[in-house]
């Protein structure tokens, strides 16, 4: 019998090689809200990159939705479960602090975005990241980020201050999820309690 086959077989049945149950860690929730970019139909551009990360790591649970308006965002933010402590990743064109989900034809203004984020339940959003150009005003970074954090209840908020190349920013975003969000989530919320010896 092939050793690799044994590992695959036992892991699929939640058992290790000696037949003991394997405790799975809870997958970190990631909600991707993506605009249409350059298309007129829904063709996810960001999702395949994060699916590759989820397949490699196994500790990431993805949910993807396409949005066109601020009302779409408000609805989907309100659907994230209370206490989920998720990463919300908003990916579309951006300019001057506004989102442009349909190739510049429609716009989600800053105030509309803040109102939409307020629809999120307590503890639903832990990390909020904007994969959109010019989302954070360069001369007013701290105030903008604090406003986003306050509205969403997020512990971490990030985004780009300038225009970025699409592929470069996408790779940076994947690294952000892999190297910041996932370790933080699993270390903070999936840690097994440590038993202490009694004297």
pLDDT in tens, 4-29: 333 333 333 444 444 544 445 678 99
Angle, CA 184 vertex, CA 179 and CA 188 arms, to 5°: 160
- Separation between Cα atoms, residue 126 and residue 187, nearest integer Å: 14
User: Are the CB atoms for 108 and 98 separated by under 8 Å?
Assistant: yes
Domain ranges of the chain: 28-189
Per-residue confidence at 190, pLDDT binned at 50, 70, 90?
low
Residue 177 has pLDDT above 70, yes or no: yes
Instruction: Look up the CATH number of domain 28-189.
Output: 3.40.50
Reported in sequence order, the residue ranges of the chain that DSSP labels E, i.e. its strands, are: 28-34, 60-66, 86-91, 93-95, 98-100, 125-131, 156-158
Is the whole model's pTM more than 0.85, yes or no? Answer: no
Note the pLDDT of residue 24.
53
> pLDDT tens digits, residue range 138-170?
888 899 999 999 999 999 999 999 998 999 999
Mean pLDDT computed over every residue of the chain: 83
> pLDDT tens digits, residue range 97-130?
899 988 666 899 999 999 999 999 999 999 999 9
Note the pLDDT of residue 88.
97
Note the pLDDT of residue 198.
61
DSSP letter (8 states) at residue 164: -
């Amino acid at each position: 019998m092939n050793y690799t086959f044994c590992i695959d077989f036992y892991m699929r049945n939640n058992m290790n090689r000696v037949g003991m149950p394997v405790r799975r860690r809870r997958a970190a929730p990631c909600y991707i809200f993506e605009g249409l970019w350059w298309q007129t139909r829904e063709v996810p551009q960001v999702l395949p990159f994060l699916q590759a990360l989820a397949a490699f790591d196994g500790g990431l649970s993805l949910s993807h939705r396409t949005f066109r308006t601020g009302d779409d965002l408000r609805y989907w933010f309100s659907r994230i479960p209370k206490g989920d402590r998720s990463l919300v990743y908003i990916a579309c064109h951006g300019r001057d602090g506004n989102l442009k989900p349909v190739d510049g034809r429609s716009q989600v203004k800053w105030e509309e975005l803040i109102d939409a984020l307020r629809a999120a339940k307590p503890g639903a959003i832990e990390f909020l990241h904007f994969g959109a150009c010019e989302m954070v005003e360069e001369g007013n970074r701290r105030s903008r980020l604090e406003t986003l954090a306050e509205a969403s209840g997020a512990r971490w908020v990030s985004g780009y201050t300038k225009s970025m190349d699409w592929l470069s920013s996408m790779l940076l975003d994947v690294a952000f999820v892999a190297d910041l969000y996932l370790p933080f989530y699993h270390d903070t919320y999936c840690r097994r309690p440590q038993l202490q010896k009694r004297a």
